């Protein structure tokens, strides 16, 4: 086992991009402000100086145009990493992602494939108000043909991009801007990770907390607090939102017999709706309690801190809900 290193989520993301650029000539990064500005969130800072403008391409404000260009370049044998500054602007590229990236392989009878990676910053919690606080992971997870990954930990920040770049199919990578400065530990030789399965981030026997994205560290923190009060909860990080891998969470539920699903996205027609259905369909008789969900409140996310906080599940909300479920 190599030594643990400490680094921020941002550093982990950046080191992956850098490694990918070093390893494969076909890889290039394109996005708004990725070069001269240094990346809207400083993830690509310094890469323009190191790799030059052909590999780190600043693009105009043309989300549909440059995302489509990334898809086209992938069709023609390149390995583009497209950065959409944040998920909030991704709707302008949705036509390209849904109608081209996701369809071309199937619609052409398998003649072409689209090895593009599309990264975007997402998440809420920075008081950016309704238009800049979207949790649209469910939109993307709805679409066959895409591989949809949620980067909820430092390990995945370091590894998911590298693995995504080996996929022959389009990968959507959600990175969470509120976690960029967060420090964490990973093995010094950490690298590629599995991108097909969910992962148990903490073992427990009393209840399964099933989550993704920023929910992972929140649930782990809640689990620590609950442990102090003698409750032993398991934390399942879904990671792969499409194709959704269900064995991991079904097995977890079979072990704990109780499930609480946690996400920032609005509750209706969400990832948790899907997970809950699968549990009903495939693990109904394992359950001691109905599945419960803690999700985003169904409002445009407001600006004031207290209202913003009230709009998505917080650690304390998770703790209280678990207590209620375990001690009725």
Identify whether the C-beta of residue 97 lies closer than 8 Å to the C-beta of residue 118: yes
Which residue, 113 or 314, has its beta carbon nearer to other proteins?
113
With a CB cutoff of 8 Å and minimum separation 6, the contacts of 243 are 147, 196
Among this protein's residues, is 63 annotated catalytic? yes
Cα–Cα–Cα angle for 213, 215, 217, rounded to 5 degrees? 100
85: its two tokens: 């500054």
Closest approach of Cβ 175 to other proteins, in Å? 19
Closest approach of Cβ 53 to other proteins, in Å? 11
Among this protein's residues, is 132 annotated catalytic? yes
Which residue, 3 or 111, has its beta carbon nearer to other proteins?
111
Burial 101-125 (b: 16+ CB within 10 A, else e): bbebbeeeeeeeebbbbbbbbbbbb
What is the separation of C-alpha 68 from the centre of its chain, rounded to a whole number of angstroms?
A: 22
Closest approach of Cβ 58 to other proteins, in Å? 10
Which residue, 41 or 140, has its beta carbon nearer to other proteins?
140
Neighbours of 52 (CB within 10 A): 11
Cα distance between residue 163 and residue 84, in whole Å: 19
Task: Catalytic residue, from 63, 83, 155, 246: name it.
Answer: 63
Neighbours of 83 (CB within 10 A): 30
Which residue, 99 or 277, has its beta carbon nearer to other proteins?
99
Binding-site ranges for other proteins (CB under 8 A): 28, 54, 59-60, 62, 64-78, 80, 95-96, 99-100, 104-113, 144-145, 147, 163, 166-169, 195-196, 243
Which residue, 147 or 223, has its beta carbon nearer to other proteins?
147
Closest approach of Cβ 187 to other proteins, in Å? 21
Is the preceding peptide bond at 50 cis, omega within 30 degrees of 0?
no
Task: Catalytic residue, from 11, 25, 83, 132: name it.
Answer: 132
Cα distance between residue 157 and residue 151, in whole Å: 6
Q: Which residue has the tokens 């907390």?
A: 209
Which residue, 104 or 283, has its beta carbon nearer to other proteins?
104
Any long-range contacts for 314-320 (C-beta under 8 Å, 24+ apart)?
314/218, 315/218, 315/221, 315/222, 315/225, 318/209, 318/218, 318/219, 318/222, 318/260, 318/262, 318/294, 319/222, 319/225, 319/226
Closest approach of Cβ 77 to other proteins, in Å? 6
Identify whether the C-beta of residue 136 lies closer than 8 Å to the C-beta of residue 122: yes
Cα–Cα–Cα angle for 264, 208, 257, rounded to 5 degrees? 135
Closest approach of Cβ 236 to other proteins, in Å? 21
User: Which residues are part of the catalytic machinery?
Assistant: 63, 132
């Amino acid at each position: 086992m190599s030594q643990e290193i400490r680094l921020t989520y941002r550093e982990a993301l950046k080191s992956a991009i850098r490694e990918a650029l070093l390893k494969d000539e076909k890889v290039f990064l394109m996005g708004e402000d990725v070069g001269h500005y240094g990346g809207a969130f400083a993830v690509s800072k310094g890469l323009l100086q190191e790799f030059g403008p052909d590999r780190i391409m600043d693009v105009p404000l043309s989300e549909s145009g440059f995302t489509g260009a990334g898809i086209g370049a992938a069709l023609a044998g390149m390995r583009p990493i497209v950065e959409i500054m944040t998920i909030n602007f991704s709707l302008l590229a949705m036509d390209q992602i849904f109608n081209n990236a996701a369809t071309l392989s199937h619609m052409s009878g398998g003649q072409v494939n689209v090895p593009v990676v599309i990264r975007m910053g997402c998440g809420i919690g920075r008081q950016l108000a309704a238009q800049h606080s979207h949790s649209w992971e469910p939109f993307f997870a709805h679409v066959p043909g895409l591989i949809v990954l949620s980067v909820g930990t430092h390990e995945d920040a370091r590894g998911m991009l590298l693995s995504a770049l080996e996929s022959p199919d389009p990968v959507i990578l959600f990175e969470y801007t509120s976690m960029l400065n967060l420090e964490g530990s990973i093995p010094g030789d950490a690298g590629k990770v599995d991108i097909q399965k969910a992962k148990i981030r903490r073992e427990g026997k009393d209840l399964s907390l099933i989550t993704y994205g920023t929910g992972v560290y929140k649930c782990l923190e809640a689990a620590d607090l609950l442990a102090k009060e003698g409750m032993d909860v398991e934390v399942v990080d879904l990671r792969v939102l499409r194709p959704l891998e269900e064995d991991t969470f079904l097995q977890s539920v079979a072990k704990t017999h109780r499930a609480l699903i946690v996400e920032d996205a609005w509750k209706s027609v969400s990832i948790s709706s899907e997970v809950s259905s699968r549990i009903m369909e495939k693990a109904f008789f394992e359950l001691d309690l109905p599945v419960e969900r803690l999700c985003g409140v169904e409002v445009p996310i407001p600006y004031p801190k207290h209202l913003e906080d009230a709009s998505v599940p917080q650690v304390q909300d998770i703790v209280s809900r678990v207590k209620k479920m375990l001690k009725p």
